[in-house]
Each structure stands twice: as C-alpha cells, then as structure tokens.
Structure 1
Amino acid sequence: MKLKRYCYSCDLKENPKLIEEYKAYHAKGKVWPEITKSIKDAGIVDMQIYLTGNRMFMIMEVDETFDPVKKAEMDASNPKVQEWERLMWNYQQELPWAKPGEKWIALEKIFQLDD
C-alpha cells in the first residue's frame, strides 16, 4: 500500500495556560474516541501534531481512500466532530495569511532529500 503525506499548520492562541490545556486534550488516550474513529474512517493511517511556541504542524499519512473534500464533508455532517472543532477553536487561531474560515493551512513542500 502506497501512502501519501499531507502536512498542515495552525496556530494556538499565545496563552501558556490555553496551550497546556490544548496539549492535555491531545495527550495519549484523551482525544475523544469519536474523533479518532472519524480520522481513521477517512483513510488517515497516521496523524501527528508537533508544536513549537504556539505554531502547530500536523503530518498525516493517508491511504488511497483518503479525499480531503470527502473528509471535510464527513466532518461537517458529524455532530461529535463539530462539537470537538468548536471546543478546539477556543485554543486555536488562524494563521495571519489564512482565508476567512480557514483553520489548518496546507504546507508547501519545498525540499526533499534525494536517495
């Protein structure tokens, strides 16, 4: 199975207390099971989020069934995902160059080490 990688970025509000709360929601075993199920059901095989300061980077490895548009539609029709997203928005903020309503911004790959 050939996997594809997607990388995104989003900022947290610059508030140490809120950042710690956000990290606690994402600690091992703390993400709501409905959220991890929706991630896996979309064809996302692995997802990792990294943090530096208040900037986050999300790396997703997806299988051939993954479609970003379909994932967005699935999320929009899932009340539990929408509840999670509203909760997380208390901690997150748009990147300065985000379009209205845009949360996680796709990263442009500009380098890859050749074999």
Structure 2
Amino acid sequence: MQKRLVILFLLIVAFGYSNAQSTLGKPVIVEIISPKGSAFKFGVFADMKGYGIQNIQQWNNLVIVYANTTSPEQLKMHIVKDFPTDQVILFQNPFYDFNRKYCDNKTVAKQWDNIILTANLVNNPKMQQEYLNYHATQFQKWPEVSQGFCNADFQQLLVFKTGRQLMLVISIPKGESLDKLNPLTTKNNPRVDDWNNMMKKYQEGVAGTKRGETWVVFKNVNEKKFIE
C-alpha cells in the first residue's frame, strides 16, 4: 500500500497532476493498447516531466494520456520507448472544438474535470465523411447543440479522430458531475435529441465493448491499483 502511495505522489509531483488547465501547448491524447491480461506499469509515467499531462485514464486494456503540450510527437515517442511491445496511437488536432466563446456567458472555470470517452466510426468511408461534414457545419446549422453545451456549463468539448477511432473530451467545472450536467443539454432543447439520434448510425463500440454499447468512459488511474 505504501509503495502505491509513493508512486501516486511521484506522478503528482512529476507533471503537476491536477485538473487546472494549461494555457500552453495544444490538447492531445496518446493511447496505449496493451495485450489483454497484461500488468500495466503505471509507475513509468513518473519520469514524464514537461509534457503538460492533465490526466492518465484507463478502460479495459486501453490507457490514455491526456495532455496540453507543445511536443506531441516527443510525448508519443517517449511512451513508445517505455512501452515497446504495446500499440501507441496519437490523437491530435481535434476536428470539433466547442468552448465558452459560443456562449452568452463566456466565464471559464479556473479548474476542470475532464471526462474522456471513446467509440469507433462505422467501417464505411462515405458515412465517416458525412459524420465529419455534419460536425464541420454544426455551429452554423445546428446551433442548438452548442447552446445545450452552454446550458450544461461545459467548459470545452473536443472530438479527435485517428483512423476510425474517436476520442471525446468533455471538460466540466472541477467537482461537478456529468450525470448532473448532461441532462441540461436537452432540457427544453429537442434539437439536441435530434442530433444525438442522427449521430448514432455513424458510431459503434471499440473492440471489447458489449453488444449495443457505443461510447465507453475512461476512469482516472488514481482510482485503480498502481503496478510496479
């Protein structure tokens, strides 16, 4: 138990593990896919200084590093070096970026909690492009969606894509609950329901999801066991 606490302390000290948002760099996600059943060595993250890491999260055999960094490729290569037998995927340059500038109330919370989810686009290039096109014009043609995010006090919402895989980052004021805030996106706002229903046909679950399951939520690793 003491060893696990020491590792967690090192993680906090090494890269300022907090949900305060960095104003430097750009948001990126590095995903590490380990063989199922293998023991993931979280302790190696303790020496990753200077990358603006905000969160390390896990779902099944997928571990992600979410960072605001000026050196995304260097971060990826550092992780590749530490996890040479695992698959490492970089997500950068989100194709969708909501923030408070779209809201009447442009106040930004000082600290955020980042909820990160993943899903796949269906294996159909035409439908994949339709999905991207809808998001490219959403602020103009479906303004009710971003208004719903404003109503729910979302601070930022980013969607990344590498290959068919999507990463969704929903940032909310620190200490708030997504379960509490998310219903406010559709309150007196049926167009958001229309949008969500329309998007369902373009999305499917990643490997390892249950039948009928699409988006899965990563959990912060400080809720899990650290393995050395």
Q: Structure 2-normalised TM-score?
A: 0.43
Structure 2: which 5+ residue stretches go unaligned? 1-109, 223-228
Q: How does 1:1-115 map to 2 (within 5 A)?
A: 1-27=110-136, 29-30=139-140, 32-64=142-174, 66-75=176-185, 77=187, 78-99=189-210, 102-110=213-221
Q: Take 1:74 and 1:101, find their aligned partners in 2: how far apart are those partners?
A: 25
Q: In structure 1, give the amino acid aligned to 2:200.
A: W
User: Rg bigger for which structure?
Assistant: 2
| Aligned CA-pair RMSD | 2.6
Q: Take 1:71 and 1:12, find their aligned partners in 2: how far apart are those partners?
A: 26
Q: Take 1:20 and 1:5, find their aligned partners in 2: how far apart are those partners?
A: 27
> CA 1:60–1:35 in 2, change beyond 3 Å: closer, same or farther?
same
Q: Take 1:54 and 1:86, find their aligned partners in 2: how far apart are those partners?
A: 20
Structure 1: which 5+ residue stretches go unaligned? none
Q: Structure 1-normalised TM-score?
A: 0.78
Task: Give me the identity figure in percent.
Answer: 24
1:42/1:65 contact within 8 Å kept = no
Return the offset for 1:94: 2.4
Return the offset for 1:67: 2.3
Q: In structure 1, give the amino acid aligned to 2:190.
A: P
1:42/1:67 contact within 8 Å kept = no
